[in-house]
Chain A
Amino acid sequence: MTRPDPELASWMEDWQSGGSEPAAEEREAIRRRVKRRTRGLILLAAGELVFSAGVLAFLLGFALRHPHPADRLTMAGLALITLSALGFAAWNRRGLWKARAETTAAFLDLSLVRCRRRQQSLRFAWGMLAVEAALFVPWIWHRLHLDRSTPPSPAEYLGAYGFLAAVCAVTAVVLVGLERWTRRELRQLEAMRGQQAARKRFP
């Protein structure tokens, strides 16, 4: 490398005098924190699988304990949705596990793909929510009327369907929030990519 001119050399000197070098204790603390967060990320990924396995086990157990065709059909539908979600998640992550250590231009492209895939996941989640709600509405009706001579009271209807509505509403709010966040990130990434493309054409 050729020796920088005085202006650049002076900026380099000023720039490099900033940012404190982490002392041994701080390095140790950073390493501990980093390992803890890495373990957290692994646990999160494992938790997703364990949760799905737990849901499937619960659905199977419920279907075995309740032989009514409506119960079994609903549990089979929910199990199918859970398995589809797992399959979709795996399919949607294809090609996203490339090494992070690519160029920043390649990283920007990868970030854009990740963002668009997240949008696909969210669309899938909306569909899942709709199908689940469509399964739960008749099933709740069936459970409320099962093995009883008198019809359920309005309070029972309200409790059961109100709970379903609340779960759907909370899920919808979370999905809308995630959609907004993803759209904002996508806009910013596209703007960065656009700047980069323009500079490539007119450096």
Chain B
Amino acid sequence: MAETALDALYDEILKREGAALRRVAAAYEADAARREDLFQDICLAVWQALPRFRGESSPRTFVFRIAHNRGLTHRSRRRPAAADLEEAEAVADPRPGPEAALRAGERRERLGRAVLALPLDPRQVLTLTLEGLSQREIADVLGITENNVAVRLSRARRALRQILEEGEGVP
């Protein structure tokens, strides 16, 4: 693929999926600075993989697959103690943001923390669902069957509901 065509495609992907890629990074990293590093890593991985994109899958599936793969690498290289602490904080501190913040912002923040508290497998299925991918697309990204996606999603939803409900009672 020519350099300019590659640039244009990359720009288009960042424009359309940039926000989603930031959310993928947020699903793997609670710390803001490291989250930004992970987002940069994801952007780099997408750029490096782009010349190999042959259109066998949709660009969205392609990009999400790369993003989640980078997320896995990031997670496997983190210090476990720090990671556990972050996740524990995410579960133990589900308070909404400042009172002045909009209610939607508070809900989003609570949801983000609850998603981070989920185990890895259901978290992947859930975040891809929340991005609007179909079960077929999620199965493609994760390399599992559609039935498996449905089962994991059902468990993820149950777990998420529970975490959010537990968070409701915290002042």
**A residues whose Cβ falls under 8 Å from a Cβ of B:** 1, 7-8, 11-12, 14-22, 27, 30-31, 33-35, 37-38, 99-108, 111, 181, 184-185, 188-189, 192, 195-196, 199-200, 203
Contacts and interface: CB of A to CB of B under 8 A. Distances in A.
Given A184-B80, A195-B121, A203-B148, A100 B19 contact: no
Chain B interface, DSSP helix/strand/loop, else mixed:
helix
17 contacts: A14-B104, A14-B108, A14-B111, A15-B23, A18-B19, A20-B19, A27-B18, A31-B7, A34-B43, A38-B48, A101-B52, A103-B141, A104-B69, A104-B141, A188-B76, A189-B76, A199-B152
Contacts of B10: 31
Contact of A104 (B40, B124, B148): B124
Interface in B83-131: 104, 107-108, 111-112, 115, 119-121, 124, 127, 129-131
Nearest to B105: A17
Contacts, number: 146
A21 B121 contact: no
A16 B107 CA distance: 12
Interface string B45-56: 101110011000
Contacts of A106: 143
B157 A19 contact: no
A45 to B, nearest CB: 13
A17 B129 CA distance: 15
Interface in B41-84: 43-45, 47-49, 52-53, 62, 65-66, 68-69, 72-73, 75-80
Contacts of B77: 181, 185, 188
Chain A interface, DSSP helix/strand/loop, else mixed:
helix
A102 B23 CA distance: 21
Nearest to A202: B151
A30 B19 contact: no
Contact of B75 (A1, A14, A99, A188): A188
A7 B160 CA distance: 11
A195 B18 contact: no
B76 A104 contact: no
Nearest to B27: A15
A95 B46 CA distance: 21
Contacts of B151: 203
Contacts of B44: 34, 37-38
Contacts of B166: none
B65 A21 contact: no
B94 to A, nearest CB: 14
What 3 A-B pairs come out closest when comparing CB atoms?
A103-B143, A105-B143, A19-B22
A184 B75 CA distance: 11
B152 A27 contact: no
A112 B103 CA distance: 43
Contact of B111 (A15, A38, A111, A200): A15
A21 B79 contact: no
Given A99-B49, A196-B121, A104 B43 contact: no
Contacts of A108: 72
B19 to A, nearest CB: 4
Nearest to B112: A18
A196 B23 CA distance: 23
